[in-house]
Structure 1
């Protein structure tokens, strides 16, 4: 086991390997100061890009992202995202220790897209739920192929980094959320954490940093770009630039005609995403009874005030943007704050 020594003056670097960029975040050992944060854009990909091609892109991008930065040490926490993970909520009888591990493995074996003997499998116990007359344990299963994990670790080590832990994106999001909402009341409340990436959206229902439910939704920035491209009869790359530049401007600086066109083209995608999130909320209300969701926190590289406002009209819950650095005394301008939620959650991980 790798030990985490209290004498260290900085935490590990959180490495978020995305579809379009790599994001790195490092915090001080007390998690109260930002040491450095970096985003490195990756070359465009095709829809059928293989995992080996992703590895090659990440390897080159990671080496370049580290050049000339203020990161300290070589210890990193790397993340497995939606491309590498198989994720499933299952229900099993309540057991302890090895019995629970066996039950979860048996339940997951028939659902995995690869053999159980090829899998690295972990699970999180969410809560007890009623099913008929029985009380079962709701469990979130995370699994990946062992070869995928090995390739990811080898890529990180090739960059002369020391991977001290491997995490999963939903756990990093819950950890980042808990760091933003730290009051005692916040720790006992439940929230829907929504991370809108370029390919997919992660929806996590959590209480503090404890996950209760996780789902990946097949809607992301690429779907907004495709809708805008069709509506305005332009290339997808042009639609990407139009949406990004318009969304990153203050509302009083936006071209009203462009803003209306983007909003009109995006409306069907937003309605689909809002519908999917509403179903997540309904699942929570039926499965985990007795405690409502108090807020939705929107993050990810595609999170904008406009998207927050639109989703807020679909969800009967308080909505706000994620800001992973809200408690830090000084932070440079890093663009959309929500894009740093996964990398910050990784950097917040405590190591034994």
Structure 2
């Protein structure tokens, strides 16, 4: 199908996760899903080169099966590929704020600046004692991780127009869905729950206030059940999924009670980590407390929504990624498409001069 240049669709948002790879492409106005698909990723070997080849083959197979337009993709760096933290700096007379942030980053990361890409976003002015300081969200990406994504893209014969950071993709996807004025005036905490880790971002008026990963996710839930019932991890995951996906009236009360009792200690550890993020934001940004929590990612489910709601006693939603975006496909678990959607919403233009995204120009001689 031929398209005019100005009708060119979005880049394909390619979310390479631990268990699945998801791909979404939107129309030029970013208002309609043109195509979406996902594929399971097999258990990867320890050999990095072989693992990269398997992922690249999965991407090729995925794109061949569906009618995606072109080969331009936006990729993301995630939990073990970037470091995200909040820092505070004081502007110095005659010194660029970027240089001040880089000096602070050098002292905190213990990494050579030549080995990383650093981006930062101003979160706002905060009070620290009698001083006012600038709060920054610092994102440090390992060059080795960027190079790995580029190698996978080359093997998959796709053209990476952007290598984004997961927190920014999540903010972009969430911001697309919460656009009403009442939403803009709220401080909202978005929680992406993946297999190995949980990502927390706090946003107000489309401004990123806070971002953090902590290493608790669905796999820890599965391992907890596996140890308790002496079953393989895959069986534990199937048990957790099967009882949770059934309608309430169809659930066996004894199974529900046993699974929930087993999971409660790990849920409590997860909630305590989430609570630390919640308290930090409420103390740092006084007068702008979080008023809503929104869950997304592969582990977002009504059961966990209920657990979080009872713990925090504020409204808790599941992210509906396709609210306000036309999608002809029937999507059962909309919340799992958050990162892929955020990547598809990327402009697709190189932004090396910007400090809010890690981007790359389209390489010369790239496959078409």
Is the structural similarity TM-score above 0.5?
A: yes
Q: Could you tell me how far 1:199 is from its partner in structure 2?
A: 0.2
Write the distance in 2 (CA, Å) between the matches of 1:318 and 1:101: 37
Match of 2:27 in 1: 28
After superposition, the Cα gap between the structure-2 partners of 1:95 and 1:73, relative to the gap in structure 1 and judged at 3 Å, is farther
Partner of 1:338: 335
- Choose the corresponding residue for 1:175, options 152, 168, 172: 172
Number of the residue aligned with 1:301: 298
Compared with structure 1, are the counterparts of its residues 132 and 96 closer, same or farther at alpha carbon in structure 2 (3 Å cutoff)?
same
* Deviation, structure 1 residue 338: 1.1
1:289 and 2:286 are equivalent in the alignment: yes
Please list the CA deviations of residues 211-254 of structure 1 after superposition, one character each: whole Å capped at 9, or x if unmatched: 11011111100110011112222121210111122222222333
CA contact (8 A) 2:11 2:348 kept: no
> Cα deviation per residue 1:39-95 (whole Å; 9 max; x = unaligned)?
11111247xx57656533421221121122021111111101112112221111136
Q: Structure 1 pair 314/96, CA: closer, same or farther in 2 (3 Å)?
A: farther
Aligned length: 346
Indicate yes or no: 2:231 matched with 1:253: no
> Does 2:57 correspond to 1:60?
yes
Taking structure 1 as reference, are residues 167 and 273 closer, same or farther at Cα in structure 2, changes over 3 Å only? Answer: same
Q: State the partner residue of 1:44.
A: 43
Moved more, 126-135 or 244-253: 244-253
* SS at structure 2 position matched to 1:121: strand
CA distance in 2, matches of 1:297, 1:52: 37
CA distance in 2 between partners of 1:76 and 1:173 (Å): 17
Instruction: Verify the 8 A CA contact 1:177 1:208 in the aligned structure 2.
Output: no
Aligned residue number for residue 365 of structure 2: none
| Cα distance change of structure 1 residues 26 and 253 upon mapping to structure 2, 3 Å threshold | farther
Residue 252 to residue 329, structure 1, CA distance change in 2 (3 Å):
farther
CA distance in 2, matches of 1:53, 1:312: 43
Selected match of 1:215 from 212, 217, 226:
212
Would the aligned equivalents of 2:14 and 2:73 in 1 still touch at CA under 8 Å? yes
Aligned to 2:358: none
Structure 1 unaligned blocks of 5 or more: none
Q: Secondary structure at the match of 1:10?
A: coil
Structure 2 counterparts to residues 207-286 of structure 1, below 5 A: 207-286=204-283
Whole-angstrom distance in 1 between the partners of 2:199 and 2:317: 16
Between stretches 156-165 and 15-24, larger displacement belongs to 156-165
Structure 2 residues without counterparts, runs of 5 or longer: 350-368
Relative contact order, higher structure (CA 8 A, sep 6+): 2
TM-score after normalising by structure 1: 0.92
1:250-274 C-alpha deviation (Å, 9 max, x unpaired): 2233333322222111111111111
| 91, 94, 108: which one aligns with 2:91 | 94
Corresponding position of 2:355: none
Matched, 1:82 2:48: no
Matched, 1:142 2:129: no
Change in CA separation of 1:99 and 1:63 when aligned onto 2, cut-off 3 Å = same
With normalisation by structure 2, the TM-score equals 0.88
> What is the DSSP-based 3-state SS (H/G/I as helix, E as strand, rest coil) of the residue aligned with 1:219?
coil
Q: Which moved more, 1:277-286 or 1:323-332?
A: 323-332
Per-residue CA deviations over 1:1-48 (Å, capped at 9, x if unaligned) read: xxxx970341111111111111111111111111111111111247xx
- Other structure's SS at 2:162 match: strand
Partners of 1:181 and 1:228 in 2: CA distance: 35
1:158 aligns to 2:175 (yes or no): no
